[in-house]
Structure 1
Amino acid sequence: MAKRNLLLLALMALASSIAAASVTTSTRKLMFLVQPQPNQLTYHNGAVLHGDIPISVLWYGGFTAAQKAIVSDFLLSLSAAPGASPAPSVSQWWSSIHQLYLSKAAAVGKNGEHGAGATKAARVVLSDQVSDEACSLGKSLKLSQLPALAAKARPANGGIALVLTAQDVGVEGFCMSRCGQHGTMDAKSGTAYVWAGNPATQCAGQCAWPFHQPASGPQTPPLAAPNGDVGMDGLIINVASMVAGAVTNPFGDGFYQGEREAPLEAATACPGVYGKGAYPGYAGQLLVDGATGASYNAHGAHGRKYLLPALFDPATSACSTLV
């Protein structure tokens, strides 16, 4: 009887160790950086945004003037004149999108009405800003409501409506499966929308990493946010990722990898990569502000510093970083 009990205990211990190993492996797989797949990130001969790209912003919910300035300065930084900010700069990151993607679409010459002749570098123009502090559609939004909100921003043809939701506004799937989204408003007029939410109080561990302790995976100390606002600095990362996708794959037939309904795009194909040497739980080698200790990889307008995602280079199947 004693031998049977010992054998049973041994089998239970073995089963527990196998189960623990399985859980660990699954978690690590979720944290792994995206590896090149047989279906590479390629151009699908559709339209891309090009030339002057007006961006209109809808502030949905409460944002302070300081928070709005973080975003508006970022948008102004995208198409700043060469030398306007020290290197590495936000405008250099934006130029990489043209070099890696938009110029390739122009060379092919099959990118449709809105992409044809897209030899001129894309230039972001901050067009308009509208506030809806009263949250006219409520504080619990469905994804299907985002195009209607985007329309409130009054985007111009060939432009992007940027919908930003405050930290107390819930959006379907926010935190659980997404930190932002982009989609089509009107393909005929070449208009797209981007949505991102301030994750400060809802899911900073998911949508503001590496400026907050990660919700899961390797637990490394959070980095100091370059603009002193964990939620907004995290939001900038997500805005940058979604704008990169909206410009290179605005209508679902541009540059992407995988399924059209759930594509990996210019920035989302490099999750968690911000500097050289990045690995799960480590953002990579970044610049550090000597005065504040904040981590960043790009200089912007008015002395701003930002952390921007790596961009996937289709030619090398590797993530290209600013630092």
Structure 2
Amino acid sequence: MSALWHFGGRLLVLVFAIGLCGTGADAALVKEQPLVLTYHNGPLLSTKPIDVHVIWYGKFSPVQRSIVVDYLQSLGAKLQGKDKQPSVSTWWKTIEKYKGAASNGAALSIARLGKQKMDESYSLGKLLKRKDIVALVESAVKSRALPPPPSHTNAVYLVLTSDDVAVERFCVSSCGYHDHILGSSLPYAWVGNPVSQCPGQCAWPFHQPLYGPQTPPLLSPNADVGIDGMIINIASVLAGAVTNPFNTGYFQGNAGAPLEAVSACPGMYGKGAYPGFPGEVLVDRTTGASYNAHGVNGRQFLLPAMWDPATKSCRTLV
């Protein structure tokens, strides 16, 4: 299982580094470890289009759902025109550089929006354990509200919880995570809306950070701090779920707490990023909102850096 902190996948490391900068400590005392995600010879998700099936748990407005849906539909959309670049699909194409074993095919393929299930009645309450996330996925598949996984896995089941739902270890050790259901090899992921629980941790850089330099937050591209924070975390867990679905794919470190495609590049959104500063990103001339990727329906998104297997470095869109 892989969990992520949005404000730096390695929060404690970042806080330590920020502390060193603030005290004028000699940077030579801190030796950066080489960033290499090793392939552990396990299966990646299929080379076929990867369906992302969504479970909406709790209250989401139609506008909030449309932002997320537009992001997921943007993953495989080829936008025309220089004014539409860089795009969400450009960001996702880095995933294609993660090669699986010969039996698992060549490069990975596009991701796309699958089926959706609404659970506005809080069927399991507003205080969820992680086992409840599994139960929601299993119930949706068993009832055929969402399609069962094909024999060759090419789907991720994404549970999204509204801002009034507390999930075990949310805001304590993660902003979202992905895992797989044992026995069925079914990959799933969860991300919560942090706007009322921990925006300084899971909606940065659209909110003042809980730790580190208190630089002014960026304006969110879709005028919703919680949802735009969720987009960043959804991007992170989906990239991890595709490149390391069963804890045997691409990662660095311990398989139980791995650094993956995006979590290995914490807090980076544009050139010149450093702990507490997201980097130089694009700014909409009309709204003043910050973004680095265009999507369908005129949407703009801010997406995190992804580790590029070709260059063995973290790659930002701008």
TM-score, normalising length from structure 1?
Answer: 0.83
- Which among 5, 18, 29 is matched to residue 17 of structure 2? 29
**Corresponding residue for 1:83?**
80
For residues 176-208 of structure 1, the C-alpha deviation after alignment (integer angstroms, 9 at most, x for no partner) is 1100000103665x5310100000100000000
1:11 maps to what in 2? none
Which of 228, 237, 245 is the equivalent residue of 2:232? 237
- Aligned-partner Cα distance in 1 for 2:66–2:276: 29
Q: Determine the structure 2 residue equivalent to 1:199.
A: 194
Q: Deviations over 1:228-268 (max 9, x none)?
A: 00000000000000000000000110000000000000000
What pairs up with 1:47-86 in 2 under 5 angstroms?
A: 47-50=43-46, 51-81=48-78, 83=80, 86=84
Residue aligning to 2:156: 160
Other-structure match for 1:225: 220
| Residue identity in the other structure for 1:80 | A
Q: Which amino acid aligns with 1:70?
A: I
Give the conservation status (yes or no) of the 8 Å contact 1:186–1:192: no
Q: Distance in 1 between matches of 2:235 and 2:19?
A: 21
Unaligned runs of 5+ in 1: 1-24
1:173-192 correspondence runs (5 A)? 173-185=169-181, 191-192=186-187
- Which residue of structure 1 aligns with residue 293 of structure 2? 298
Instruction: Name the larger-Rg structure.
Output: 1
2:115 alignment partner in structure 1: 128
Change (3 A) 1:291 1:42: same
Report if the CA contact (8 A) 1:28-1:217 is conserved: no
Cα displacement (A) at 1:224: 0.2
Seen in structure 2, the aligned counterparts of structure 1 residues 187 and 97 have a Cα distance that, compared at 3 Å, is farther
CA 1:315/1:81 → structure 2, altered by over 3 Å: closer, same or farther?
closer
In structure 2, relative to structure 1, the CA distance for the partners of 1:266 and 1:170 (3 Å cut) is same
Say which structure is richer in helix.
1
Identity %, equivalent residues: 53
Q: Give the aligned CA root-mean-square deviation in angstroms.
A: 2.3
Query: Whose relative contact order is higher, 1 or 2, with alpha carbons under 8 Å and at least 6 apart?
Result: 2
**CA apart distance, 1:37:** 3.2
Q: 1:35 to 1:192 in 2, by over 3 A?
A: farther
In the TM superposition, residue 36 of structure 1 has moved relative to its aligned partner by: 5.7
Report the CA distance between 1:316 and its aligned residue: 3.6
Counterpart for residue 36 of structure 2: 40
Distance 2:190 2:210 in 1: 22
Measure the CA separation in 1 of the matches of 2:219 and 2:129. 32
**Match in the other structure for 2:3:** none
Conserved 8 A contact 2:56-2:116: yes
Please identify, of 43-52 and 204-213, the stretch whose mean Cα deviation from structure 2 is larger.
Answer: 43-52
Q: Deviations over 1:251-290 (max 9, x none)?
A: 1100000000000000000110001100111100100000
Once residues 239 and 19 of structure 2 are traced to their aligned partners in structure 1, the CA distance between those partners, rounded to angstroms, is 22
Aligned length: 287
Q: 1:31/1:77 Cα in 2 relative to 1: closer, same or farther (>3 Å)? A: farther
Q: Which residue of 2 aligns with 1:145?
A: 132
1:130 aligned counterpart, secondary structure: strand
Alignment CA distance shift 1:26-1:213 (3 Å): closer
Change (3 A) 1:150 1:139: same
Instruction: Report the Cα distance in structure 1 between the residues aligned to 2:253 and 2:216, rounded to whole angstroms.
Output: 33
SS in 2 for 1:245: helix
